[in-house]
Amino acid sequence: MIVAIIQARMGSSRLPGKSMAEVAGHPLLWHVVNRVRKARTIDKVVVATTEGAGDAPIAELCSREDVGCFRGSENDVLDRFYQAAQAAAADTVVRITADCPLIDPAVIDKVVGRFQLADCDYASNTLRYTYPDGLDVEVFSRAALERAWREARKPSEREHVTPYLRSGKFRRANVENDAPVSANQFRWTVDNAADLEFVRAVYAAMNGNGAFGYNEVFELLRRRPELAAIQTELIPNEGYYRSLYKQAKAGSAKKLPLAQSRAWFERSKKVIPGCAQTFSKGHTQYVQGAAPIFLQSGKGCRVRDVDGNEYIDYVQGLLPNILGYANEEVNTAVTAQLAEGHSFSLPHPLEVQLAERLTRLIPCAEMVRFGKNGSDATSGAVRAARAFAGRERIACCGYHGWQDWYIGGTTRKAGVPQAVRDLIDPFKYNDLTSLEKLFSEHPNEFAAVIMEPVNFVEPAPGFLGGVRELAHKNGALLIFDEICSGFHFGLGGAQKLFGVTPDLACFGKAMGNGFPISCVVGRAEVMHVFEEIFYSFTFAGEVAAMAAAMKVLDILEQTDALARMESNGRTLQDGLNTMAKEAGLGDWIQAIGRPQWSLLKFTDKNGNESPLLKNLFQQEAVKRGVLILATHNLTAAHDGPAIHETLEAYGEVLKTVASWIGDPDATRFLDGPMAQPVFRVR
């Protein structure tokens, strides 16, 4: 028997009594029950409420409407659900919550149908949101529910019914909407008074008739967008994140065994200046004594250090591993190419095939030249722009690599001739006036404007288009440095996302999932300059990395990898921000930016950057198995269980740091010297 159990209570913290709130002449719960009843796959509907006196009106409604009602534990909701399923003799349980009065019977049937394929223990349309929040359906077997009831121990697992079922211990399946939407774009659940007003307006527009589906609601909102403006923004599943924080325990985590890391560090000091090949991968970027120094292996979103400690890795090699470490499909493609050779004496057809593919995907790309590092691409683009324009000065915004033309304008300028330094001029992001000032101070001198089109701050309306207009007005080319934004924010990069096409663009990092490859792309008129300038090196045409790039593009184009990254990244971002507020640190610790690549921003009570807070957070995170610098570099391998594990660790970190930060000498909680910034860019 397939039994829909509707979870209902009167004691909502935000909107008490919402289950019985009037909507189109009936209680809100009445609408939920009657919409669920219309699902073809449902044999029986039961409302599960509490034994508390305050929930008596729910039981009375069920009695009047001839709906099954089970009353159980107020706090152990998992037990209430299990006992309700037992009493109803359910073989399959469909979980619905009473705050979803727009629930669609057709969506219920679709999720139940997916579960009935019998290859999973749990099916839902919420593992990744492609339906509006408020059309949530979860389906699971009574056997799986019983196992969760027996094994789940954490308060968050007992209070919210399905977290344990959503873990890696069960076979799970997600149901996708044919026309995916973002849960943050459409939220149809009732959490507060504004949501209730929205639902009432929808029912009123439908003349109180409950016989409508979500497509009709979409059409209504298309015709009357002012209805959606009624609602206020809320974080989906905020109550669950608060539960994670509530159950977290404060206190510094145990120090990790790092003897082998220290031994390799001592050896490296004798032969490697700085003990690492990249500043941002060096020991100075972490709290020394708390974090590993050498890693041994990685798979998916996890890495293992030389001492055998395992971490969920949010650094991911500084962003290139868009699919995670050691992706089998990518590695197989590379292995096949290696067997045939990979660094040839003449061009290989893969160069043409990959270039053709990039010209189809990237708006500005008419021609392509390859490199190995992001710095190869940005430096090649700048050299091409100078040759094309017959000018030397460059305006820049953001980080663009290690080569002289750029790094000479930063504090890491040692060894760069003054004449080179004098040709780079930075301007401020989202500030057209600062760019206009450069053009007015140096008329007819700029060859190009190079910039990161987006990092952790969204471009203001008209900003990117304004930069392009200013550049062209002053005879300069526009170059987008998409080494970081490329592919993470969509296959066409930020230029496609924001609808502004540059003259040239640079891509790299994620392109090869860790195999070294980058490229300069752009309009043919400019790209032909590469036939004259010297942009030529031995490994530019190495094709093992190109084989990797072709497979990466296959996966990004043919699967939901990018969508999963965004969804899981949003969960991580929302969870951290919710728990930071619970810890009283909401103004001090925030995850900002797009969920695929978000920045952890640490400030003090005066709003100034706080290195101490950042170091305390980073230290306690790594000791709990979360490796992080200052960003969440999401990959397709960061799945739901990994995100959940991270949020549990973050709950403990935040509760611990909150107990320390008011100490007159909070530095005493550090296990070693603080991380040292390479230099400030963003």
Q: pLDDT, tens digit, for every residue of 351-367?
A: 999 999 999 999 999 99
Find, among 233, 125, 130, 124, the residue nearest to 181 by Cα.
Answer: 130
The pLDDT tens digits of the residues spanning 234-252 come to 788 888 999 999 999 999 9
Counting runs of H as helices and runs of E as strands, what totals does the chain give? 23, 23
Residue 680 has pLDDT above 90, yes or no: no
Known catalytic membership, residue 655: no
Which candidate in 18, 110, 372, 509 is catalytic? 509
Closest listed residue to residue 495, CA positions, set 473, 517, 464 = 464
pLDDT tens sequence across 552-576: 999 999 999 999 999 999 999 999 9
pLDDT at 181 > cutoff 70: no
pLDDT digits (tens, 9 = 90+) for 448-493: 999 999 999 999 999 999 999 999 999 999 999 999 999 999 999 9
The mean per-residue pLDDT over the stretch 50-68 comes to 95
Q: Report residue 682's pLDDT band, with 50, 70 and 90 as the boundaries.
A: low
Q: What is the CA radius of gyration of the chain?
A: 28
Please, what is the end-to-end C-alpha distance for the chain in angstroms?
58
| Parallel/antiparallel/unpaired status of strands 589-592 and 597-602 | antiparallel
Considering the candidates 399, 406, 535, 650, report the single residue annotated as catalytic.
Answer: 399
Q: Is 581 an active-site residue?
A: no
Within a 10 A sphere around the Cβ of 349, how many other Cβ atoms?
Answer: 9
Q: Which two tokens stand for residue 17?
A: 């009594």
- Mean pLDDT over 36-60 rounds to 96
Return the CATH class of domain 2-234.
alpha beta
Spans of all domains in the chain: 2-234, 259-325+561-669, 344-541
CATH class in words for 344-541? alpha beta
Q: What is the pLDDT of residues 504-530, one digit of tens each?
A: 999 999 999 999 999 999 999 999 999
* pLDDT above 90 for 495: yes
In this prediction the pTM is 0.92
Residue 287 Cα distances to 140, 258, 310, 618, angstroms = 44, 13, 18, 8
657 CB contacts (<8 Å, ≥6 apart)? 583, 585, 589, 613, 616, 617, 620
- The predicted-structure confidence for 292-336, as pLDDT tens digits, reads as follows 999 999 999 999 999 999 999 999 999 999 999 999 999 999 999
State yes or no: is 481 an active-site residue: yes
Q: Is 259-325+561-669 a domain of CATH 3.30.70.2190? A: no
Bridge partners (DSSP) of residue 224 are: none
Q: Which backbone phi and psi does 519 adopt, to 5 degrees?
A: -160, 155
- Is residue 231 very low, low, confident or very high in pLDDT (cuts 50, 70, 90)? confident
Q: Which of 481, 503, 574, 671 is catalytic?
A: 481
Distance CA 207, CA 204 (A): 5
